[in-house]
Amino acid sequence: MIVRAEQNGFTLLELLVSITLLAFLSLAVVSGLRFGSQVWSKSQTANVDSNAVRSAESWIGRSLVRLYPKYVVASPTDSFVTFDGTSQQMDFLSTSDEGLAQVRLEGVKTASGVTLQAEQISDVAASRVTPDTMVLLHQLNAVEFAYYGIRAGEKVPAWHQSWQHERSLPLLIRIRAAMPRPSTSWNELVVRPKIAADVSCNFDAVTRFCTGRL
């Protein structure tokens, strides 16, 4: 009578197959975690960028809607509103919670792209040399301002790359920005100032708007 001893444990081949399967399973799990982390990171970046764009659009729109067209009479034949705009920079007066404020909105070129920033000096702090600086958007590919209206000597309104030393504000102001990532887009912002220039335009401290021609 022959008695066969039972074999305990695994053979070398079975161990190799098990280790190989475990390695493939681990690789699949790590790849899945990495992919999920990348998706989450991109989603977070897109959300941050979208929030920054909405905040910038809100601030710019609010400031431009409340433009104050202070009328300057330099001579009997030379009068203009205090608004100076080029394709990369705007200087204007706007109403704020503290009253009138001198605002500069510009696209500043940096090593990492273009930064859209605003500088503001309120009437309360008019004696202060250094303005308050606010970075609205950074690392942009490009920023461009344009102005729609009738300039001196023209008969019909059109879009212009500059608006300087004019007797009235532009009818519309357009801001375009090229975003650095395709996941975030800048909807072309077009703002219509609420008031236009008028010789009789006086600033109302209660409503914080010009009481002249609307």
Give yes or no for a contact between 79 and 69, defined as CB atoms under 8 angstroms apart. Answer: no
The verdict on residue 105 lying in a domain is yes
- Is-above-0.85 flag for pTM? no
Dihedral-angle region of residue 153 (phi above 0 means left; psi in -120 to 50 means alpha; beta otherwise): left
Of the candidate ranges 5-9, 108-112, 128-132, 144-148, the one whose mean pLDDT is the lowest: 5-9
The verdict on residue 31 lying in a domain is no
Where are any strands of DSSP class E within 65-157? 71-75, 78-81, 83-85, 89-96, 99-110, 113-122, 132-140, 142-149
Dihedral-angle region of residue 45 (phi above 0 means left; psi in -120 to 50 means alpha; beta otherwise): alpha
* Domain coverage including residue 160: 51-210
The verdict on residue 191 lying in a domain is yes
pLDDT tens across 42-93, in order? Answer: 555 556 567 888 888 999 999 999 888 888 888 878 888 889 999 999 999 9
pLDDT tens across 146-172, in order? Answer: 999 999 888 999 999 999 999 889 999
The verdict on residue 86 lying in a domain is yes
Enumerate long-range contacts of 171-174, CB under 8 Å, 24 or more apart. 172/147, 172/148, 173/64, 173/85, 173/90, 173/145, 173/146, 173/147, 173/148, 174/145, 174/146, 174/147, 174/148
The verdict on residue 119 lying in a domain is yes
Quote the tokens at residue 22.
Answer: 């475990």
Count of domains for the chain: 1
Residue at token pair 């510009």: 106
pLDDT band at 214 (very low <50, low <70, confident <90, very high): very low
Beta-ladder partners of 71: 81
The residue ranking higher by pLDDT, 93 or 187, is: 93
Over residues 2-25, mean pLDDT: 70
The verdict on residue 120 lying in a domain is yes
The verdict on residue 44 lying in a domain is no
Specify the pairing of strand 83-85 against strand 78-81: unpaired
The verdict on residue 141 lying in a domain is yes
Q: What is the pLDDT of residue 125?
A: 52
